[in-house]
Amino acid sequence: MKYLPSIFTLLNLFCGYYALYSAYEGEFQAGAIAIFLAIFFDILDGRLARLSGQVTKFGKELDSLADMVSFGVSPAFFIYQFSLSAFGREGFFVSFLYAACTALRLARFNVKTSSLSHFEGLPSPAGGALIASTVLLLLFLGIEPEECSYPLLLLVCIVSFLMVSPLRYPSLKDFRLKGLSTFYFLVLFLFLFILTASKPPVILFVLVLIYILLGPFLFVKDFGLKILGKRKKGLKKDNL
């Protein structure tokens, strides 16, 4: 049990490395699935470490290095091979931008006090999930990379910015549905499982996209609440 979290971290690293290999071989579907498996192992190693009380500095450093490969270098090379290589030097630098922003995102996370409720900036696994799910969706729809090369270039730039942005994203580390009984949680899980299994590329893309849009949504919501708060204070002062 003591070494189990680190074993899952290494499995995360293996999946990220396999995604690199698959991208090089042109097996993009296998590479995208490998990125999602890396996310699964990344979630699992953290859960096991917290449940077993085996959260160590070594484990955190190993996890960051694995994440850099699986959700930084791997998705960057993956999307470059899939589409951005058509842009030549520009595509290379955009893919590098993604990898560099992932490194900056992980470094900032390591030096700042982490919150159980939210992340600062888009988590790197979510960035990798968007790239992987987008490629799976395009393959499922039969759309050639050349037909959507410019949207993909823009997508990589946006995701890179979101990772280093100050936007808040909900943390799923200790996700719980308050007030929901075990029975209804199982019903909800079954519904989501069947929905995802029906058309995995479409549903995975939609779910990842919803999470990524939560950051801008929460920013607009907080900004709106601040403006309303200032107006209420102004009205109170006028009444006095």
Domain boundaries, the chain: 4-239
Nearest to 132 by CA among 29, 214, 42: 29
| pLDDT value at residue 113 | 63
Angle, alpha carbons 179-126-119 (nearest 5°): 65
| pLDDT value at residue 236 | 63
Mean pLDDT in the chain?
Answer: 87
| pLDDT value at residue 164 | 95
| Best-predicted range by mean pLDDT (104-113, 135-144, 164-173, 174-183) | 135-144
| pLDDT value at residue 238 | 57
Q: Among the CATH numbers 3.40.1350.10, 3.90.1150.10, 1.20.120.1760, 2.30.30.90, which is that of 4-239?
A: 1.20.120.1760
On the question of pLDDT at 224 being above 90, the answer is: no
Please report which confidence band the pLDDT of residue 111 belongs to, taking 50, 70 and 90 as the band edges.
confident
Least confident of 61-75, 97-111, 114-128, 130-144: 114-128
Greater confidence (190 vs 113) lies with 190
- This prediction has a pTM of 0.87
On the question of pLDDT at 140 being above 90, the answer is: yes
**47, 105, 112, 115, 126 from 166: Cα distances, Å:** 25, 10, 13, 14, 16
On the question of pLDDT at 176 being above 70, the answer is: no
**61, 107, 134 from 55: Cα distances, Å:** 11, 18, 33
Tell me the residue length of the chain: 240
| pLDDT value at residue 110 | 87
